[in-house]
Structure 1
Amino acid sequence: MTSAPGLAPQQRATYREVLANRRFRLLFVTRTLTVTADSLRIMTLSVLVFATTGSPLLGALTFGVGFLPQLAGSLFLGSLADRARPRRLVTAGYGLQCAAAAVMGVAHLPVAAILVVIAAVASLTPAFSGVTNRLIAETLTGDAYVLGRSMSNMSASAAQLLGLAGGGAAVELLGPRSSLLLSAGAYLAAAVAVRLRLPDLPAPEQAVRHGSRRGFGSVLRHSWSGNTKLLAERRVRTLLLAQWLPPAFVAGAESLIVPFAGGRGMPAGSTGLLLACLPVGMLAGDLAVGRFVRPAVRERLVAALVMVIGLPLAGFALDPPWVMCAGLLLVTGTGFAYALGLQRPFLDAVPQASRGQAFGLLTAGLMTVQGAGPVVFGAVAEFTDVGVAMALAGLATVCVARCVAPWRTGRGQ
C-alpha cells in the first residue's frame, strides 16, 4: 500500500502530491475517459432510440435504464470486486463496455435488444467500479485518499458535462452510430491502458483463503451475504445513507428546473445556465474544501455543508428571479463538498476484506436513489407547485444533516 510521500494520516495533502502517484494517475485518467464515454453513449442512444421510435418514453427509458440494474448487480455480483485479480476485472469491464457500444453502433438492433444490452452491462458495473475504488483506497492513504476521491468526483462531473455536451455535437457531425463507435474507442483505449500499465496484482489474500477460486457459483452467495453484513452495521448503514440521500433529494429538485423556468416565463437560454450552476458549484466546493480545509475540520463541517445544500433550495418556494435562482443553485452545489468529510470515516467503518463490495454498493445505491428522486419530487410537484416541491427537496436535505453530524459517524472530536 502506498501513499503520497511522507504524509501522516492527519496531515493535509495536496492535489499535486496525489497526482504524482503513478497508479492513481492511471486509474484517474482511465476512469475519466470512461465516464466521458458513458455520457456520450447515453446521449447518443437516447437520440437514436427517439429518432427510431418517436417515443419520448422510450427515449427517457434509454437514458435511465443503466441505473436501476446497478443495484441488482451490487447485491448479487458485488463480491467480485474483492475476489478477482484487479487488472483482469478492470480490463474486462472496460472491454465489455467497448464491445457493447461497438455492437450497438454496427448492428441495427431493435429497441428492446438495446435496452437489454444496456441493462446487462449496467448490472456488472458495481463490480468494475468497486475494484477500481478499492485499488484507490489501497494506493492512497490518509488525506491523500480523501483528495483522490475529491479529484475523482470533480473529474466525473466535468466528464459528464463534456460527454453530454459533446454527445449532441458528435451526433450532429458524425451521426448516432459513428458516435457510438467513438465511445467504443474510448472504452478500448482505457482497457488497453489498464492492461499495459497496471501491475497484475493478485487477488486479496483473504479471498484466496476463503476459496474465491472455487468457481463463479459462490459469487452470488458471498455477494448477498456480504451486503447483508454491511447493511447490518449501523455505522456503515448511516454513512451509506448520508452519501445517498442528499444527492437523491437534489436530483429531485434538479429535475424540476426546466418546468420551474418555463412556468415562470424566464428568459430563453436561462434554463441551460441554471442546469449548469449545480455542477459548477460542486466543482468549486470540492476544490476549495479539499485544498484549503484541514482533514479534521472537513469531518466536523459535514452537517453544516449538508445544510448548505438544502437551505438555498428552500428559497425556490418564493419564486425568485432567474439570476437569484442561479446563485442559489451555485451555493447548493458547493455544499456537496460534505462528502469529503465522510470518505475516511466510511473507509474506516468498512472491513478491509469487503472494501470493493462496499464501494460497489455505495455507487449502485447512489445511482438508484438519484433515479428515484425525480420520480418522487415530480409527483409532489403534480399535487403542489414546482417551486414548493423544490423547496421540500431542500428541507428534506436539511433533515439529513442531523444524521451526518460528526458524532453519528464516530469521528466527532
Structure 2
Amino acid sequence: MTTASPPSPAQSAAARRTTYREVLAEPFFRLLFVTRVVGVTAGSLRITTFSVLVFTGTGSALLSALAFGAGFLPQLFGSLLFGSLADRLPPRALIVGGFLVEGAAAALLALVRLPTAAGLALVALVALATPVFSGASARLVARWLSGDAYVLGRSLNNLASSGAQLFGLALGGAVVEALGPRQALAIGAALNLVCAAAVRLRMPLVPVEREERGDASGNTGGNTGGGAVRNSLRGGTTLLRDRAVRRLMLAQWLPSGFVAGAEGLIVAYTGTRGFPAGSYAMLLACLPVGMLLGDLLVGRLLRPSTREHLVVPLIALMGAPLIGFAVEPGRLPAAALLLCTGCGFAYGLGLQREFLAVLPEHGQGQAFGLLGSGHMTLQGVGPVCFGAIAAASGTGGAMALAGAGSLLTAAWVLTWRRARPAAGPSA
C-alpha cells in the first residue's frame, strides 16, 4: 500500500486561498493597481470624449462609432507586430512610456483642432502600442505574485477595469456637460501624467535578465530595432501554435466576444422596445456591475480548486441569460438577465493559474499583451457581426444567438478539459 507524499511548500502555497488584503499588501502591486484604476479611468474618458468630439464636429454617427472603436481594433495587430518588446525592454520604462504616450495623445486632441482623419489615426497609433505597455505591467504582476495571490491580483485588475470604466463614463459625461469635450480630454491627459510620475518615482528598476540571456533561438534584448517586428511575429506565431496556449486564449476570448456582440445591441434593443429615455444607460451598466459582483464573490469566497471547477458553469452563465432575449423581455427582466451575464465573467479567474503555467518563460509579456489585445479586438468585432445579424433577425434574436455562442464555447471547453488528463500534455 502506497501513501501519498505530503504536498510541497509551493503546492501548498498555490492551493491556499489568499485574501485581497494580502495581495494589496505587496507595495509594488498596489502601485500598479492604483495607477491602473486611474489610467483606465483616463482611457475611458479619452475614448468616449473623443467620440463625442467627432460627432459634434461631423454629425456622423458612423464616424463617432469609428472614433470609439479606433481605441480597440488595432490592438491585436500591435500585439503581433510589437508584442515581443514587452519582454525585451525594462518594464518600468514601458509602463511610464505608456502613460506618457496616452497622455500626450489626449493633450494633442484637446489642444489642437485636428482633422477627423488625423484624430482617428492618432488614437489608432496609441492602440497599436497599448499591448506592449499592458504586457509589461501584467508580466510584473506575475513576477511579484504567485499561486492564489496571482489569481486574486488578476481579479483585482478586472475589478479595477470594470469600476474605472463605469467611473470614466460617468466622469466623462459630467465633465463634457460642465466644461466641454476638450477640457475633458485635458483632464484625461493630466491623469495619465500623474500615473507616469507615480510609477517613475515609486517603482523599482526591474532587471531585464531574461532579455539579456536571450530566448531559445539566440535572440537578445539588444535587438529591439528592425528585428522587433520579426521577433514579435515569430513569438506570436509560436504562442498560437502551442495547443494549450491557443485553447486557453480562445477560452478567454470567445465568451467575452459573444457577450460584447450582445452588449453592442443594447441601445438598439431599448429603442425597438420603446423603453423610457435613458434606459440603455441602466442596461449597459448591468454588465460591469455583474462583473464586479462575480469577481468579488468568486475571488473572495471560493477556494482555488473550486474556482477552477466552476469555469464551464460560469461560461454557461454568461450565455444562458442572453437566450432569454429571444422573448424580448421588459426593462427590469432584461436588467436582471444582463446582471447574471456579467457575473459569469468570473470564469476567467479559474483559468489564470493554468494559463500562466503553460506560458514560456521568455514570452510572458508578449503572451499577456496578446491575450489583452484579443479581448479588445473582439469587443470591436463582436458588435459588428451581431449588428449585421440583428438587421435580419431583430435585436432580441441576435442577442439570444450571442448567448448560444457562449453556451457552445462552454461545451467546447468542457470537452477538452475532460479529455486533457488522458491526452497528456499538448505539443
TM tier, shorter chain?
over 0.9
Structure 1 residue 159 displacement after superposition: 0.4
Report whether the alignment pairs 1:124 with 2:129: yes
- 1:412–1:328 Cα change, 3 Å: farther
TM-score, structure 2 normalization: 0.92
- 1:197 is matched with 202
Question: Residue 188 of structure 1 aligns with which residue?
Answer: 193
Equivalent residue number for residue 112 of structure 1? 117
Q: 1:321–1:365: structure 2 CA closer, same or farther, 3 Å change rule?
A: same
Aligned to 1:72: 77
3-state SS of paired residue (1:352): coil
Aligned 8 A contact 1:289 1:337 in 2 = yes
**What is aligned with 1:174?**
179
Which residue is equivalent to 2:6?
A: none
Contact 1:345 1:411 (C-alpha < 8 Å) held by counterparts: no
Partners of 1:196 and 1:205 lie apart in 2 by 24
Most deviating of 51-60 and 232-241: 51-60
What is the match of residue 160 of structure 2? 155
**What do residues 300-358 of structure 1 show as CA deviations (whole Å, max 9, x unaligned)?**
11011111111111011112222111111111111111000011111011112100000
Q: CA contact under 8 A between 1:235 and 1:409: conserved in structure 2?
A: no
In structure 2, distance between residues paired with 1:113 and 1:264: 38
- Is 1:359 matched with 2:368? yes
Pairwise CA distance, 1:406: 8.2
Counterpart of 1:68 in 2: which secondary structure? coil
Percent of aligned positions with the same letter in both sequences? 56
Q: What secondary structure sits across from 1:266 in the alignment?
A: coil
* 1:7 shift after superposition: 7.2
CA RMSD of aligned residues (A): 1.8
Is 1:379 the counterpart of 2:388? The answer is yes
Gap regions ≥5 residues in structure 2: 1-9, 423-427
State which of 220, 239, 246 in structure 2 corresponds to 1:230. Answer: 239
* Residue in structure 1 matched with residue 324 of structure 2 by the alignment: 315
Shift of 1:226: 0.3
Aligned partners of 1:154 and 1:286 also within 8 Å: yes
Shift of 1:89: 1.1
**Aligned position for 2:288:** 279
Residue 270 in structure 1 maps to residue 275 in structure 2:
no
Output the CA distance in 2 between the equivalents of 1:280 and 1:155: 12
Under a length normalisation based on structure 1, what TM-score does the superposition of the two structures give?
0.96
Task: Give the secondary structure class of the aligned counterpart of 1:46.
Answer: helix
Aligned 8 A contact 2:88 2:224 in 1? no
Question: Which runs of 5 or more residues in structure 1 are unaligned?
Answer: none
Q: Secondary structure at the match of 2:208?
A: coil
Distance (Å, rounded) in 1 between the aligned partners of 2:255 and 2:87: 28
Matched with 1:216 is 225
Offset, 1:266: 2.4
Structure 2 residue matching 1:325: 3-state secondary structure: helix
Secondary structure at the aligned position of 1:280 is classed as helix
Instruction: Please say if 1:60 is aligned against 2:65.
Output: yes
Q: Which shows bigger deviation, 105-114 or 132-141?
A: 105-114
1:345 alignment partner AA: E
The Cα offsets for residues 122-170 of structure 1, whole Å up to 9 and x where unpaired, read as 1000000000000001110000000010010011011011111110111
Contact 1:308 1:335 in 2 (8 A): yes
Counting matched residue pairs gives: 409
Secondary structure at 1:405's aligned position in 2? helix
Partner of residue 31, structure 1: 36
Structure 1 residues 11 and 73: CA distance shift in structure 2, 3 A: same
* Structure 1 position 409, deviation (Å): 8.5
Correspondence 1:278-357 to 2 at 5 A: 278-357=287-366
Amino acid at match of 1:175: G
Segment drifting more, 48-57 vs 258-267: 258-267
Using the alignment, how far apart are the partners of 1:14 and 1:321 within structure 2?
Answer: 39
Residue 368 (1) aligns with residue 373 (2) = no
Task: Name the residue aligned to 2:7.
Answer: none
Q: Per the alignment, do residues 170 and 6 of structure 1 end up closer, same or farther by CA in structure 2, a change over 3 Å counting?
A: farther
Stretch moving more, 209-218 or 243-252: 209-218
Which amino acid is 2:354 matched to? P
Q: 1:133 to 1:327 in 2, by over 3 A?
A: same
Letter in 1 for 2:249: L
Report the residue type matching 1:151 in the other structure: L
Matched position secondary structure for 1:9: helix
| Structure 1: distance between partners of 2:120 and 2:57 | 14
